[in-house]
Amino acid sequence: MKITDAKVFVGGPKKNYVTLKIMTDQGVYGLGDATLNNRETLPAKYLQDYLVPNLIGMDPRRSEDIWQFFYRGAYFRRGPIAMAAVGAIDMALWDIKGKLANMPLYQLFGGKSRDGALCYAHATGADLEDLMDSVAHYVEAGYRAVRVQCGIPGTPSASYAVPEEKGDVKNYITDYSGIRPKVETWDTGKYMRYMPGALMEIRERFGPDLEILHDVHHRLTPREAAEFAKAVEPVGLFWLEDPTPAEDQAALRLLRQHSTVPVAIGEVFNSIHDCNRLIEEELIDYIRVAVTYAGGITHVKRIVDLAGLHHVRTGFHGAPSHSPISMAAQAHLNAWAPNFGIQEYLVLGTPDCDALFPSEHRMMGGMVHVSDAPGLGVDFDEGEAARFEYQPGSHPVVRLTDGTMWNY
């Protein structure tokens, strides 16, 4: 069996999804997602110029060897661009494998460990009252777990994932007005003084059963993060996410010595070498890697197995940046993983997105139910794809109140 061709598409409804389609001489094809938020043209170019020409003629069933070929063979390995490209190939090869076996992928991993996978939504508000309305909306929609972010009084502009205007639903962090970023302001002192009380008010309003998550988005130093974690302990968070910049694995030691708040990190990691120390020293409770830019199913499965040895559970990244293809790959891993924790899941389901990526994966009652179709269980409509083209966009950047650049 041979790979005969592979095509890369960039575009989608309000999103630059990077979709790889690998064709074979037996008519079976596979799909992969290489979407790297706001840098989408780079994995697409890496695929088109370097990886696809090498793929032609390879046996698609040898997914492990092909992964090693592109990872080891590149010499300059790892990094989000390369790992997103390799990850997309890997997803597509697993999709082909499942279709050849006529089985959904979770069966190839070892079968289901659960009936549905708990997921969480993003609630957001310009202020606390606005956030309460947003949480209530998701609770009414059936979610049992909600991530909460709100504006900080006295901070001059919207902070991470928070709208400027009350009532706005800010699910898209990308600003599509061009590649020059908007500037947000961050005030650590005001955040540290305000947010613990706000989180407690949410707990009091919604009661003990709602799982509440909060994302600090890499903004605190290790000492500040330890102080913040102690302050929010009475809230009973499901997790505190990215309290410190993710590249410093040692940063979490101080927090761990001072607090028992569950910690989640890893959405920017590309490889097991970014998180092995965190996992082996048991400095985290949830690992947030995504199949999209952590090398696909083959590599993420290795991270999940290492995590399982150290009581670390999964909490795969699932921001709207990922296409339904990688969300499907994660749905299969979630169904199987013995150490599954939770899945970030924003209903992507606009009619345009559903038409572009038809699938039977469903969210019901706060749980994701995996499709039983062979392979990934998601398709890609090339006719629909022709309606969209790449739109330049950017994340905001962050400055402190005195103008110093800070971590987005």
What are the catalytic residues? 160, 217
Residue 196 phi, psi dihedral angles, 5° rounding: -60, -40
For ligand KDG, the closer of residues 206 and 408 by Cβ is: 408
Q: Which of 327, 325, 349 is nearest to 30 (CA)?
A: 325
Between 130 and 344, CB nearer to ligand KDG: 344
Nearest distance, CB of residue 178 and ligand KDG, angstroms: 17
Q: CB of residue 149 vs ligand KDG: minimum separation in angstroms?
A: 9
Q: What residues from 162 to 221 belong to the interface with Mg ion (CB under 5 A)?
A: 215
Among 90, 344, 361, 385, binds ligand KDG (CB under 6 A): 344
Is there binding between residue 215 and ligand KDG (CB under 6 A)? yes
343 binds, among Mg ion, ligand KDG, none (CB under 5 to 8 A by kind): none
Of the listed pieces 45-53, 74-82, 128-136, 314-322, which binds ligand KDG according to CB under 6 A? 314-322
**Choosing among ligand KDG, Mg ion, none, which partner's interface includes residue 37 (Cβ < 5 to 8 Å by kind)?**
ligand KDG
Q: Smallest Cα–Cα separation from 213: which of 321, 312, 121?
A: 121
Cβ distance to Mg ion smaller for residue 60 or 341: 341
DSSP code of residue 19 = E
Of 363, 377, 327, give the one whose Cα is nearest residue 108: 377
Number of residues lying near ligand KDG (CB under 6 A): 10
Least Cα distance to 87 among 315, 231, 302, 259 occurs for 302
Name which position in 42, 136, 200, 319 contacts ligand KDG (CB under 6 A).
Answer: 319
Buried b (16+ CB within 10 A) or exposed e, 111-149: ebeeebbbbbbbbbbbebebbbebbeebbeeebbbbbbb
148 binds ligand KDG, rule: CB under 6 A:
no
Of residues 71 and 160, the one with the C-beta less far from Mg ion = 160
298 versus 321: smaller Cβ distance to ligand KDG: 321
Among 84, 131, 173, 370, binds ligand KDG (CB under 6 A): 173
Beta carbons of 5 and 23 less than 8 angstroms apart:
yes
Of 37, 334, 343, 394, the residue at the interface with ligand KDG (CB under 6 A) is 37
Residue 211 or 215: which CB sits closer to Mg ion? Answer: 215
Residues of this chain, 248-287, that bind ligand KDG according to CB under 6 A = 267
Closest-approach residue to Mg ion (CB): 215
Piece in contact with ligand KDG (CB under 6 A), picked from 52-60, 97-105, 315-323, 378-386? 315-323
CA distance 171 to 13: 14
Partner that binds at residue 321, options ligand KDG, Mg ion, none, CB closer than 5 to 8 Å by kind:
ligand KDG
Nearer to ligand KDG, 23 or 331 (CB): 331
Edge-to-edge order in the sheet of strand 397-400: 183-186, 397-400, 405-406
Under a CB-based contact definition with an 8 Å cutoff, are residues 118 and 145 in contact?
yes
Residue 344 binds Mg ion, judged by CB under 5 A: no
178 by DSSP, 3-state: which? coil
- Going 53 to 57 to 61 to 63, the CA torsion angle's sign is negative
Q: How far apart are CA 344 and CA 146, in angstroms?
A: 9
The amino acid occupying position 122 is H
- In the complex, minimum distance from the CB of residue 253 to ligand KDG, in angstroms, rounded to a whole number: 23
Smallest gap from Cβ 139 to ligand KDG, in A, equals: 19
321 counts as binding ligand KDG under rule CB under 6 A:
yes
3-state secondary structure of 101: helix
Query: Which residues, including other chains, have CB under 8 Å from residue 305's CB and lie 6 or more apart?
Result: none
Per-position x/- string for 374-393, each x denoting binding to ligand KDG as judged by CB under 6 A, each - no binding: --------------------
Q: Are strands 183-186 and 397-400 parallel, antiparallel or unpaired?
A: parallel
> Widest CA span of the chain, in angstroms?
63
Q: Which residues bind Mg ion (CB under 5 A)?
A: 215
Q: Which residues bind ligand KDG (CB under 6 A)?
A: 37, 173, 215, 217, 267, 317, 319, 321, 344, 395
